[in-house]
Amino acid sequence: MIAFGFGIAFALIAQYARLNTFDAIVATALRRRHDVVQIMLVAVAVSSVAFFGEYLLGGAVVAVKPFYLIGVSVGGLLFGIGVAILGYCPGTMTMALAEGSLDAVFGIAGGVLAGAIYTVAYPAVRPFIGPDFGELNLYASNRAVSAIIVLAYAATLLTIALKILPARAAPRNAAGALKPAPPTSPRG
C-alpha cells in the first residue's frame, strides 16, 4: 500500500512537469534542453542533505547497492543506449503508457524478456560482473566530516544544475538549429 501510494505521488509530479515523455528524454539526450537533468541534479542535492539528516536522527538506514565493477559499468552503458533508443526509463515507461503512448507496451515487453533471460542466465553471468568492491558510499567514519562531504556534494550538484548547465547548453529551436542567445536578465 505504501509502495502504491508513493508510485501515485511520483507519477503526479512527473506528469505535472512532463518528465516522462519520449520527447523530453530524447531532447535531453540530444542536448536540446537541460531542464530534466537540472531537476534530477536538484532532486539528488536536496535529498542527499535531507537523507543525511534523517539518517543522523535514526530515521533511515543507509542501503547502498554494491559496486560490481563490470556489472555497474557495462550495465550503465547498455542502460544509456536503451534510454537513447526507447526514450523512457524503467519507471517513466509505465507512466508513458498511462498517458496513451502505446509504444511503451513494446518497451515493457522487451524489458520483461530481458528480465526473463537474465533470471535464467544469472548463475552463468554472476562470475563475470565483479570484482565486488562492496557497499561503498562517500560518508566518512566521523559524522562532522560526513556532514561537510554531504554539503559539498549538494553544493557541487546545485552549481552544475543552476550555473554550469545553463551557461554551457546552447539553446536550440525545435529543428535542432542553434538559436541566438536570449537576452540575459538579472535574477535573484
Partner 1 sequence: MFGKHTKVLLVGSAIGLLNVVVTNVYLAGRPVGASTSYPFVAGVALNLEATEYFAQIRNAGSWEFLFLLGAFVGALAGAVAFGHFKLRLVPPLWAELKGRSATRRLVWSLVGGFLLILGARLADGCTSGHILSGGMELAVSSLVFAGFVGVALLAAARRFYAGATP
User: How near is the Cβ of 168 to partner 1 at its closest, in Å?
Assistant: 13
Instruction: Between 141 and 185, name the residue whose CB sits nearer to partner 1.
Output: 185
Choose which of 16, 127, 141, 179 interacts with partner 1 (CB under 8 A): 16
Rounded-to-integer distance, Cα 30 and Cα 28, Å: 5
Report how far residue 117's alpha carbon sits from residue 121's, in angstroms, rounded to the nearest whole number. Answer: 6
Task: Please report how close the Cβ of residue 167 comes to partner 1 at its closest, in angstroms.
Answer: 13
CA dihedral (146, 147, 153, 154) positive or negative: positive
Total of residues contacting partner 1 (CB under 8 A): 125
- State the nearest-atom distance from the C-beta of 31 to partner 1, in Å: 7
- Rounded distance, CA 112 to CA 129, Å? 21
Does position 108 interact with partner 1 (CB under 8 A)? The reply is yes
31 binding partner 1? (CB under 8 A): yes
Binding of residue 46 to partner 1 (CB under 8 A): yes
**Which residue among 56, 76, 142, 164 contacts partner 1 (CB under 8 A)?**
76
Site for partner 1 in 128-157 (CB under 8 A): 129, 133, 135-139, 149-150, 153
Q: Minimum Å distance from CB 145 to partner 1? A: 13
DSSP annotation string for 1-35: -HHHHHHHHHHHHHHHHT-SSHHHHHHHHTTS--H
Q: Is 169 in the site for partner 1 (CB under 8 A)?
A: no
Cell 508513458, located at residue: 96
Q: Are 41 and 47 in contact (CB under 8 A)?
A: no
